[in-house]
Amino acid sequence: MRAAPKPPSAEQPELDTIVEAILYLYTESRRITKDVAARHGVTGPQLAVVKMLEPVGKLSLSELSWKIRARNSTVTGIIDRMEREGLVERRRSEDDRRVIHITLTKKGQRLAGEIPVEPVQIFRQILSELSPRDAGELSRILTRLARRVRELVQEKGEVE
């Protein structure tokens, strides 16, 4: 078991700045998603699914769950509603009949085409402005932080 986290100290005043930046990026991403989704009559998670499916055509439920960082049961509910609204359809895999692929319908494809910008694209654009060295370093650090957050959440028993 790991030691309890150390409180921020005067030796690391930049920690508050980093936390504020992370919270700002998260909050702004959610605000943009919510605003864009509302203008198109869908929810934020539905918008995320539409934009995830748009470039790839199909994803399995587990792939989709991993990409939007949600549990399979949560994604199943989202997909159920989207299917009722005619935005997606489920198709059984020809290779493995246990796998169900989610694909956009024509209506879902039209919706995806009407939504030119979403948070992932904005983040990709600003990240592309980083030097390859900075992008690599940021990727390494964020991956390490994400791994540690997962560990802490699992230790507290807050994950399936």
Domains delineated in the chain: 17-115 (1.10.10.10)
Q: Half-sphere exposure of 60 toward its Cβ, with a 13 Å CA cutoff?
A: 12
Residue 7 pLDDT exceeds 70 = no
Q: What is the pLDDT of residues 71-126, one digit of tens each?
A: 888 999 999 999 999 999 999 888 888 889 999 999 999 999 988 766 777 888 88
Q: Round to whole Å and give the CA distance between 18 and 76.
A: 34
Share of the chain above pLDDT 90, in %: 42
- In degrees and rounded to multiples of 5, residue 5 shows phi and psi of -65, 145
Question: Between residues 155 and 38, which one has the greater pLDDT?
Answer: 38
Q: What is the pLDDT of residues 62-76, one digit of tens each?
A: 899 888 888 888 999
Report the pLDDT value the prediction gives residue 160, as an integer from 0 to 100: 46
